[in-house]
Structure 1
Amino acid sequence: MNELSQETSPYLLQHAQNPVHWKSWNSTTLATAKNQNKLIIVSIGYSACHWCHVMEHETFEDDEAAQTMNQHFINIKIDREERPDIDAVYMKAVQIMTGRGGWPLNAVCLPDGRPVWGGTYFRKHEWIETLEQLQKLFENNPEKMIEYAEKLHLGIESLNDIQAPNKTNLNQFRSNFPSFGGVAEGRGGSNRIEETLNPLLEKWIKSFDHDFGGMARAPKFMMPNNYKFLLRYGHQTNNKELLDFVNLTLTKMAFGGLFDTVDGGFSRYSVDMKWHVPHFEKMLYDNGQLVSLYADAYKLTKNPLYKEVIEKTLNFVSKELSNDQGGFFCALDADSLTENQHLEEGAFYVWKKAELQSLMKDDFELFSQVFNINDFGYWEEGNYVLIQKDPLEEIASRNQIEVHLLQAKKKSWENLLYTEREKRSKPRLDDKCLTSWNALMLKGFVDAYKALQDENYLKTALENATFIIKNLWTEEGNLLRNYKNGKSTINAYLEDYALLINSFIALYEVTIDEKWLLNAKQLTDYCFEHFYDEKKKFFAFTSDLDEALISKHYETEDNVIPASNSVIAENLFVLSIYFGNSYYEEVVQEMLQNIVPNIDYPSAFSNWMNVFLNFSEQNKELVVTGENAKHFIHKINRNYLPNIILAGAENHSLLPFLSDRFVENETLFYLCQNRVCQIPSKDFERTLSELKH
């Protein structure tokens, strides 16, 4: 029988009525496969995945396909968002077998869980035919299957090996940074950092799209950590070309159909080169990171478009992706019901020309120029996805109207469209709360607060932090990954710890409340106890308290979400300064020494390169002490200072980095480098000027 009705995952519940006898991944299910000597089907997806829905409708709702699956196989459905550890293992297997990956992810495994075949989306008859062939092979020649499984398993294990740099690259790196491993002299010269990174940038730039921003390929993913690094590197090296490219990318993303100008929030990716037509699902992790990115860019440029993007996105998250306890939901689906009650991708978001003409009346011609109700904005089947091409200033000039009047009209049009769109059937909501994704959104609210100084953003961030601590951090010291319907489940992964630590550090930077740093350190030390591998010098993705899978996973490549190891490295560097912990910094240096000389594909290591920049002589620390410390921290946070680590105290502090820096009745500014501070200043403007130059 189908057992998924007992689960809380919206994705698993979507499959609870399938005729397939789905089971969840657990020790009982795995033991059943071994005891009955049956092949296992592992099928992985997520609630907002369009092609997952297509395969469910075509195949998993079909009685003929279900009969084949039920007769011979143990069928396991997995929500990849709940179990990224399982997804990582079988994704590696499918990538080895097929050279590509994606979702739905489907694998057939031996009774012990080792995969023998796999792929992504399959049509019904291809699926049934393949399953029948695999079952016959298992019955008649199991030795051949076992032999292939062993070879494939070796391939999966080889992907887990973190390759040591070749001797030439390693020796070059060590000659450039001889003090790595010797913390007192840990910073490298800026020129040496640039000498190491510039060749990677030169290679990366060749793939830039200089017309629409992003990479010159489709589909186009936003990859926020890529632009976080490029913005910082362009700023620190005074590289105008790089800064212009980042601003082009952020502008075109905000103009594109990828961004929901009507109600805020970004979709997951664009299927075309111009950011026009997205896969329409809206994911929390994208929006959290993009708010942080646009906040950084706004601090540097003061571009009002970026402010609009931040405000609309946070309004959307607060309205559509928030529970009443301070938690954030995962996603809105790509699919929604049409007027004919058919699920269709993008149905909630697209517009017909006649509908827009009826709504806009005399303004339709001007509206069409702003949102391209023309060949540029046309999608398919009479549908338009709103996309901007030209700045409002240019359109206003062409039409001989004041810019502020056109801005007011645009806002009025968007309100009109919002009211009309709310009459439609909304996309389905994935209402589970994941620790790591909540942490990304928490940091988004903190970064928006820094940039825009809206106290409501800080209030929301603090409420979310309280929600996580109350519901997802146990008395035993470990985190849980998932919260749904008052129930917290699944021992958390490195990703959850890394990103939550990162968000707690961000909270300290705006509140100077040291409890956030103490929380961060407690979680960091837990990671060393249960995730750190002394031999590999990296952190495993899963805790040593969890039941082992067929292969251990070490996440080192930055993807749409940065690698958990690179985020841990980022955290360790900052915490090493706050707590005077030389071991933390040694671990970061060991990780960088294994990663940086090996980088060949820079966009997959952008957060590592961001951590590496921390060892530049441009990196400094600022300590602000005195009863007005928070006031001045508030002013400093408005500025884009990615190379500055900020600390503050309104009275005496036990934090090692702040020890003996507080003087009664004085506000002091200590500018430091590598923990060594200059004579304190009382001049804020002079200190701020020094930080910027």
Structure 2
Amino acid sequence: MNLLSQETSPYLLQHANNPVHWKAWNVNSLAEAKEKNSLIIISIGYSACHWCHVMEHESFEDQKVAEVMNKSFINIKVDREERPDVDAVYMKAVQLMTRRGGWPLNVVALPDGRPIWGGTYFRKEEWMETLGQLQQVYQSNSEKVIDYAEKLHQGIQSLSIVDNLKSESEFHTTDLSLLVQKWKEDFDLDFGGMSRSPKFMMPNNYHFLMRYAFQKNDMKLFDFVNLTLTRMAYGGIFDTVDGGFSRYSVDNKWHVPHFEKMLYDNGQLVSLYSDAYKLTKNPLYKEVVEKTLSFIERELMSPEAGFYCALDADSLNSENHLEEGAFYVWKIPELKTIIGDDFELFSQVFNINSFGLWEDENYVLIQNKSLKDIAKSNTISEATLQKKKQFWEKILYIKREKRAKPRLDDKCLTSWNAIMLKGFVDAYKALENENYLNLALKNADFILKNLWSSEGNLYHNHKNGKSTINGYLEDYCFVISAFIALYEVTFDEKWLQYAKQLTDYSLEHFYDEKSGFFTFTSNLDEALISSHFETEDNVIPASNSVMGKNLFQLSIYFENSFYEKVSLRMLQNILPTIEYPSAYSNWMDLALHFSEENKELAICGEKALEYASKINALYLPNIVLAGLEKVTKLPFLKDRFVAEQTLFYLCQNKTCAAPSTDFQKIVSNLI
């Protein structure tokens, strides 16, 4: 057993019995490398990563490999979810060296942490041979190795530099239209998403595209977003039996997923499908939201109301061996036994045919036709088929629960919890299910009690009753966003005050005046070999783009011109640099906030929450909502309460129309 046995991360604990002398990333491990002048192996992954498990089994559990690693190297294992700062720096290095990246991420570095070589997955013999060569070169010609490390280090630092264009030029939504037009060239018009595989869901992309289509009345674009959401919901990437989405699809039709289920994906997708339901009233989208939240509450919620990180891609098969997707796939004989006389109809719905076949006679359930069309071709009612489908899913769930479940990563990350919290709030807005709001409030209380210290900083991680790791910008930005969302449905101003406190803390400890952006790590933390400014939106939006949107909203609530100035400055520096729109969708959404179409609505009076529920149930992405049921000192609402009246104040460009008591008139002016 190595030193990882002292850690709490499920990923690190998975490697605690490896013969490799693994250490965690900490001051002592790094100091030992310098003291011994040893090269460092930095191996980064996460608990639900399939290829991380493969490399562990092939190499890190092997005694010969361990002897090579232990003899000459300081071996450090990193959970990328606990240390996204470390992962970001070394991912840049590997991308510079190999033009690609992924996990497992394996890097060899000098004793001071500067990388000299790296890549992703390696087979056993290649891994051993390369390590031997690197150690030999370092011993015989260290000057050459150090020179290469310095050049690579300069390259990493150049990637970290965010140009401050000091631009104060105005931008117009026509600028966005050019970017959207360019983006459309990559659309898959058959299955939705982008024309490539593997396919990641990228929920923030479709959040923006849906909003843009709505505000610009672009029906073709809306049809594409609708196609994408429908195909994802139909696909094997969505677990129709138990709810929840897997991380990505390995093919172009959303069929066969990488089977791990991640909290951050599901939180964002609940928000996306909730918004889509508000706009379309498509019952499929409601079903996706309800099933997913049921899955989250049942499988990923702790007794303390925290949300766990993930379920693994791998689980034990019938031969008691770990196998990717074993928990989720089906074979025809088993399905025939379970479904019985309805098997032929079941096969039409879920494509137990060449379209739904994966490999080794395994089927991943996928739909490609609506229930309405299938019912018509079988001369039965759609309602009857819907009931059958629900019954099939129920009995499949009961049968599947008898299988060995995927392993659970039971740490709670602050940023991911906040993303899921907002998902529950957005679902409450769309479906008005009180349970969703109650769970959101319980999770917010969990964050307040366990992840926000008395010194004012957030922690990043909570496990076994302990909160650890000083928070990153992603923790602050997503908690602020979630607290603003809670305010929108409760009008409890404590959530705005909490959001403001965290924003002011972020400005003090993360904001870099020179660049005009926020660093990923606090200025109270030990510096890594390079600073990291997260500006590109990925499977999770960039922490800087989320902060930009938070600052915009809070600038309105608190009439704070500095917040607005910082937000606008970031946006003005980003927009001229955009080449790949999909990597900046949340920034483009922020640009719509600053457009002429954005409005603010204040609902003031004893029935404020009642009317707020009606507003929140509508798809109005261009509205900043505020309200009160009694006198307040919140700047945006100050002096707007009138006893025994409910008044609506509609504002635009810092100018408010005369208060109105006509709700329907207000709604017509919002849409």
* CA deviation after TM superposition for structure 1 residue 29, in Å: 0.7
Equivalence map 1:670-685=2 (5 Å): 670-685=649-664
Counterpart for residue 661 of structure 1: 640
CA distance in structure 2 between the partners assigned to 1:573 and 1:57 by the alignment: 48
Counterpart for residue 181 of structure 1: none
1:604 aligned onto 2:586: no
Deviations 1:602-627 (A, max 9, x none): 00000000001011111000000011
2:331 to 344, 349, 352: 352
1:217 aligned onto 2:196: yes
**Normalising by structure 2, what TM-score?**
0.99
CA distance in structure 1 between the partners assigned to 2:221 and 2:460 by the alignment: 37
Deviations 1:292-325 (A, max 9, x none): 0000000000000000000000000000000011
Mapped contact 1:49–1:103 kept (Cα < 8 A): yes
Counterpart for residue 589 of structure 1: 568
Counterpart for residue 41 of structure 1: 41
CA distance in structure 1 between the partners assigned to 2:301 and 2:451 by the alignment: 16
Counterpart for residue 87 of structure 1: 87
* CA deviation after TM superposition for structure 1 residue 662, in Å: 0.5
2:374 to 391, 395, 406: 395
Report SS of the residue matched to 2:194: coil
CA distance in structure 2 between the partners assigned to 1:15 and 1:392 by the alignment: 46
1:513 to 478, 482, 492: 492
1:319 to 298, 306, 326: 298
After the TM superposition, which of the residue ranges 289-298 and 352-361 deviates more from structure 2? 352-361
RMSD value over aligned CA atoms?
0.8
Counterpart for residue 468 of structure 2: 489
Counterpart for residue 204 of structure 1: 183
Deviations 1:620-668 (A, max 9, x none): 0000001111110011100000000000000101100000110011100
Deviating 4+ runs (over 4 angstroms): none
Which residue identity does 1:371 align to in structure 2? F
1:74 aligned onto 2:53: no
1:337 aligned onto 2:316: yes
Equivalence map 1:503-542=2 (5 Å): 503-542=482-521
CA distance in structure 2 between the partners assigned to 1:371 and 1:195 by the alignment: 43
Which residue identity does 1:263 align to in structure 2? D
* CA deviation after TM superposition for structure 1 residue 685, in Å: 1.2
Equivalence map 1:241-640=2 (5 Å): 241-640=220-619
Report SS of the residue matched to 1:370: helix
Identity percentage of aligned residues: 69
Deviations 1:11-67 (A, max 9, x none): 000000000000001111111000011000000000000000000000000000000
CA distance in structure 2 between the partners assigned to 1:140 and 1:484 by the alignment: 45
Report SS of the residue matched to 1:305: helix
CA distance in structure 1 between the partners assigned to 2:559 and 2:162 by the alignment: 29
Which residue identity does 1:113 align to in structure 2? G
Mapped contact 2:34–2:111 kept (Cα < 8 A): yes
Mapped contact 2:164–2:515 kept (Cα < 8 A): no
* CA deviation after TM superposition for structure 1 residue 674, in Å: 2.6
* CA deviation after TM superposition for structure 1 residue 79, in Å: 0.1
CA distance in structure 1 between the partners assigned to 2:197 and 2:257 by the alignment: 11
* CA deviation after TM superposition for structure 1 residue 193, in Å: 2.5
CA distance in structure 1 between the partners assigned to 2:424 and 2:491 by the alignment: 16
**Normalising by structure 1, what TM-score?**
0.96
Report SS of the residue matched to 1:111: coil
Counterpart for residue 187 of structure 1: none
Report SS of the residue matched to 1:351: coil
Report SS of the residue matched to 2:172: helix
Mapped contact 2:236–2:254 kept (Cα < 8 A): yes
Report SS of the residue matched to 1:384: coil
* CA deviation after TM superposition for structure 1 residue 164, in Å: 4.8
Equivalence map 1:218-237=2 (5 Å): 218-237=197-216
Report SS of the residue matched to 1:383: coil
Report SS of the residue matched to 1:468: helix
Q: How many residue pairs are counted as aligned between the two chains?
A: 671
* CA deviation after TM superposition for structure 1 residue 576, in Å: 0.1
* CA deviation after TM superposition for structure 1 residue 199, in Å: 1.1
Mapped contact 1:657–1:675 kept (Cα < 8 A): no
Structure 2: where are the runs of 5+ without partners? none
Counterpart for residue 136 of structure 1: 136
CA distance in structure 2 between the partners assigned to 1:380 and 1:425 by the alignment: 20
CA distance in structure 2 between the partners assigned to 1:669 and 1:416 by the alignment: 50
Deviations 1:522-559 (A, max 9, x none): 00000000000000000000000000000000000000
CA distance in structure 2 between the partners assigned to 1:592 and 1:291 by the alignment: 27
CA distance in structure 2 between the partners assigned to 1:615 and 1:53 by the alignment: 46
Mapped contact 2:164–2:516 kept (Cα < 8 A): no
Which residue identity does 2:282 align to in structure 1? N
* CA deviation after TM superposition for structure 1 residue 2, in Å: 1.4
Counterpart for residue 152 of structure 1: 152
CA distance in structure 1 between the partners assigned to 2:322 and 2:520 by the alignment: 36
* CA deviation after TM superposition for structure 1 residue 675, in Å: 2.8
